[in-house]
């Protein structure tokens, strides 16, 4: 963005053959053109211009002086005479930078000195055209810095159909045309509390950020719940009542059979927001230990506490092949909220906002996959989670397949782990025994016990596929 401003300021400098500076409407310096050393005299860098460049701002007195010439109301170039008594040794030409009738900044040029040609009307008009382009950039930057969490959340939680289309249209309008049609990636970071989302202003390269309900309630399949896109979302009251009922049922039953995953760490954790100065005041206020490999029980149990939210982040990208801004932001936020045990997911890059619900489902799926399999995380990309693309699309909350239900009991955790590693190793006994650190005969004995418990024939491809997918689904 800074380079864009500089290029436009240099374009105005070339048009009018004079060094230009760009300031926002509060007289804060944004960019300035280079001075030709041959053009220097005692009036070129007077005290006001020097202070503006060196400190990147002007004093209230200087601001009041210039505003007294009506620059905030002007729609065309304004000439301001020299005033040595206030440190202005040479006159100025001010080009107001406006967008949709609102002044957002000013381009300043030194007026022609003795013997120098005056800029023509045509060149001034061309320079005002460049100033209009600067106005679009400033307007987009202002929108990007505003709190768009409500509009962003509305898109991610809307039902498909006209409600979703309206939410996208409102978000597009609030974000601004140029920003809305740009390239973005959606990031999902589970474990946040609803009211503690950071501001987008404190997150470089972020267009919008919000919290979205996560975990309990995903079974309804709304776009904003982390469930597969395309399901019908229930009303807020229905979801809340159903979530409380589900949580109560899980606490009573103890989840002994090891239900499907919510992908959310127990207890939840959160970060505080930002202070008024925009500096990060993020701090960890909770967390959960990582589940050991092979622990298939209790993934959906929040220990009696309300399910935390997930943080949704819309990160700007420059190229679809360069996801580093999204990956860096995801790692920063997941480390802050839960330390080394926290995970995050990143969706495939997209241009525009039309598929934000699908992108959110991808990011949520990647975050769940990273929690289920350590090798995918701690920050997982949707494009890299393999079979979990399909598994995360299954309706959450359903009981495990009857064939593996007994295998998933806590007493058989080691057998379940052995079966999963065996299938991960493509059924190669040598690799499996080495990975588990056991003798081959021990491996064969365990696999025979797995066959007895499940009734599946591990020599049959379809039986192995069922067992493999059931074990992976239980991890979720």
Q: Is 402-475 assigned to CATH 1.10.10.2840?
A: yes
- pTM here is 0.51
Q: Looking at the domain that runs over 2-144, which CATH code has it been given?
A: 3.30.450.40
Mean pLDDT across 312-319: 91
Average pLDDT taken over every residue of the chain: 74
Does the pLDDT of residue 292 top 70, yes or no? no
- Output the pLDDT for position 285: 29
> Taking a C-beta distance cutoff of 8 angstroms, is the pair 353, 152 a contact?
no
For residue 458, is the peptide bond before it cis, meaning its omega torsion is within 30 degrees of 0?
no
Phi and psi of 188, rounded to 5°?
-120, 125
Does the pLDDT of residue 262 top 70, yes or no? no
Does the pLDDT of residue 407 top 60, yes or no? yes
- Residue-wise pLDDT for 17-26, tens only, equals 888 889 888 8
pLDDT band at 238 (very low <50, low <70, confident <90, very high): very low
- Output the pLDDT for position 123: 92
- Does the CA dihedral 272-274-275-280 come out positive or negative? positive
Q: Of the given ranges (42-46, 107-111, 127-131), which has the lowest mean pLDDT?
A: 42-46
Of residues 315 and 31, which shows the higher confidence score? 315
Does the pLDDT of residue 457 top 80, yes or no? yes
- Residue-wise pLDDT for 27-44, tens only, equals 888 887 665 544 545 545
Task: Tell me whether the CATH fold assigned to 2-144 matches the one assigned to 402-475.
Answer: no
For the chain, domain boundaries: 2-144, 146-391, 402-475
Per-residue HEC secondary structure of 201-237 comes to: HHCCCEEEEEEEECCCCHHHCCHHHCCCCCCCCCCHH
Residues above pLDDT 90, as percent of the chain? 22
- Residue-wise pLDDT for 48-58, tens only, equals 666 665 555 66
């Amino acid at each position: 963005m800074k380079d864009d401003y500089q290029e436009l300021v240099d374009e105005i400098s070339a048009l009018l053959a004079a060094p230009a500076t760009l300031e926002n409407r509060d007289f804060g310096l944004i960019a300035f053109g280079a001075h030709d050393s041959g053009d220097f005299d005692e009036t070129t860098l007077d005290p006001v211009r020097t202070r503006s460049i060196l400190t990147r701002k002007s004093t209230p007195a200087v601001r009041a002086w210039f505003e007294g010439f009506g620059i905030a109301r002007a729609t065309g170039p304004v000439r301001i005479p020299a005033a040595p008594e206030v440190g202005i040794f040479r006159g100025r030409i001010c080009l107001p930078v406006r967008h949709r009738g609102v002044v957002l900044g000013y381009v300043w040029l030194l007026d022609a000195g003795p013997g120098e040609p005056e800029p023509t009307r045509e060149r001034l008009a061309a320079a005002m055209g460049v100033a209009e382009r600067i106005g679009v950039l400033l307007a987009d930057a202002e929108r990007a810095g505003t709190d768009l969490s409500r509009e962003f959340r509305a898109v991610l939680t809307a039902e498909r159909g006209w409600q979703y289309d309206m939410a996208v249209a409102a978000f597009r309008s609030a974000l601004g045309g140029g920003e809305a049609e740009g390239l973005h990636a959606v990031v999902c970071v589970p474990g946040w509390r609803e009211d503690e989302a950071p501001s987008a202003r404190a997150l470089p390269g972020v267009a919008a950020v919000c919290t979205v309900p996560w975990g309990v309630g995903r079974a309804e399949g709304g776009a904003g719940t982390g469930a597969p896109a395309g399901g019908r979302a229930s009303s807020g009251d229905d979801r809340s009542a159903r979530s409380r009922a589900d949580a109560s049922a899980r606490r009573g039953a103890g989840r002994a059979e090891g239900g499907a995953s919510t992908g959310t760490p127990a207890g939840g954790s959160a970060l505080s927001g930002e202070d008024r100065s925009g500096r990060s005041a993020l701090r960890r206020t909770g967390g959960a230990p990582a589940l050991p490999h092979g622990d298939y029980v209790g993934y959906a149990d929040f220990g009696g506490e309300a399910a935390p939210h997930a943080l949704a982040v819309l990160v700007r990208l420059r190229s679809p092949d360069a996801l580093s801004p999204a990956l860096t932001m995801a790692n920063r936020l997941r480390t802050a909220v839960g330390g080394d045990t926290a995970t995050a997911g990143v969706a495939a890059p997209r241009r525009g906002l039309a598929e934000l619900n699908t992108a959110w489902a991808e990011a949520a799926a990647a975050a769940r996959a990273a929690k289920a399999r350590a090798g995918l995380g701690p920050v997982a990309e949707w494009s890299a989670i393999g079979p979990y693309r399909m598994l995360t699309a299954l309706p959450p909350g359903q009981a495990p397949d009857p064939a593996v239900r007994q295998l998933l009991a806590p007493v058989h955790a080691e057998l379940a782990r052995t079966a999963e590693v065996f299938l991960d190793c493509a059924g190669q006994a040598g690799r499996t025994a080495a990975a588990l650190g056991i003798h081959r005969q021990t491996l064969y004995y365990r696999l025979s016990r797995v066959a007895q418990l499940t009734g599946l024939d591990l020599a049959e491809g379809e039986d192995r596929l069922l067992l493999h997918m059931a074990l992976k689904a239980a991890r979720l």
